[in-house]
């Protein structure tokens, strides 16, 4: 899809990957960008910066776990510029722990990491299918293709996000819907402990600082790096977006020799938590 002249909504747009996506879509010629985030003030600041740079943008508070908020974000875009062409369901959270995590936290991460993607599809699918054209971008994670050491809720919900994206692609591609699923590994955002200014920091220095981390072994990316990969993928209409291409190799290993892959992941877990011999 050619992004020029398109109307875009990005959730989780106040920082990290979402902020970078808003900037990248605007710079690629989007007619308008709705920056949606539970941090309404942060969303407004991002939108104001885009407007100051000569783009058209609106910031709106949006709790993606509340369906009415997602509907409102779509309505904001439609009232300003017309039908939404591209919806980036990008917002996400992480909850550490395993099956012992309280139900309230399971419900919270399910609402943000999974249910929000369902709400996004509900909000835009009817109009997109009626027009015979539309684009959904679901931010999942490499954890949705592999797993997440130390967080069962994150692994489970990101697998679900990938599954939904696949289902939507299979079900509606012939009706004109294009779906992409973004699955990065480590990215410097608030979720990974990066300082706020890391959006524009030097990636090499950050890699050196956190070279011992598991996420860092394949290279921590900046949000802008991820956004550039997304823009390229939208142009090619690729389903699976892998800013870390090595993830494809890991997925092949997992599929072709699951027992070996599980043994390898147990070793990584032991190294991360300091239980390795």
Nearest to residue 186, comparing CAs of 116, 242, 105?
242
Beta strands 57-61 and 86-89 are: unpaired
Q: Pick the catalytic residue: 135, 154, 172, 250?
A: 154
The DSSP element (H or E) to which 240 belongs, if any, is strand 240-241
Tokens at residue 79, please? 């009232």
In contact, 140 and 181? CB cutoff 8 Å: yes
Tokens 């994670």 -> residue:
141
Cα–Cα distances in angstroms (integers) from residue 78 to residues 58, 82, 174, in the given order: 11, 4, 25
SS3 (DSSP) at 123? helix
119 is catalytic: no
Residue 56: φ, ψ to 5°:
-110, 125
Closest CA to 112 of 157, 81, 69, 151: 157
d(C-alpha 269, C-alpha 277), whole Å? 12
Catalytic residues: 154
């Amino acid at each position: 899809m050619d992004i020029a002249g398109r109307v875009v909504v990005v959730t989780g747009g106040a920082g990290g990957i979402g902020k970078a996506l808003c900037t990248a879509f605007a710079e690629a010629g989007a007619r308008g960008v709705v920056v949606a985030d539970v941090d309404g003030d942060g969303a407004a600041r991002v939108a104001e910066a885009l407007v100051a740079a000569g783009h058209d943008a609106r910031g709106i508070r949006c709790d993606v776990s509340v369906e009415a908020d997602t509907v409102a974000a779509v309505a904001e875009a439609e009232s300003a510029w017309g039908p939404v062409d591209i919806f980036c369901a990008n917002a996400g959270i992480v909850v550490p722990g395993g099956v012992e995590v309280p139900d309230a936290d399971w419900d919270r991460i399910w609402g943000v990491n999974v249910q929000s993607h369902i709400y996004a599809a509900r909000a835009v699918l009817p109009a997109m299918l009626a027009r015979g054209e539309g684009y959904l971008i679901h931010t999942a994670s490499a954890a949705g293709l592999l797993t997440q050491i130390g967080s069962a809720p994150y692994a489970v919900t990101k697998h679900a996000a990938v599954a939904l994206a696949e289902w939507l692609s299979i079900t509606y591609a012939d009706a004109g819907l294009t779906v992409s699923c973004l699955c990065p590994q480590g990215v410097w955002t608030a979720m990974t402990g990066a300082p706020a200014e890391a959006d524009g920091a030097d990636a090499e220095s950050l890699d050196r600082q956190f070279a011992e981390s598991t996420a860092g072994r394949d290279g921590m990316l900046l949000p802008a790096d991820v956004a550039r990969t997304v823009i390229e993928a939208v142009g090619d209409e690729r389903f699976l977006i892998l800013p870390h291409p090595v993830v494809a190799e890991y997925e092949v290993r997992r599929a072709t020799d699951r027992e070996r892959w599980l043994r390898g992941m147990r070793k990584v877990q032991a190294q991360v938590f300091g239980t390795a011999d």
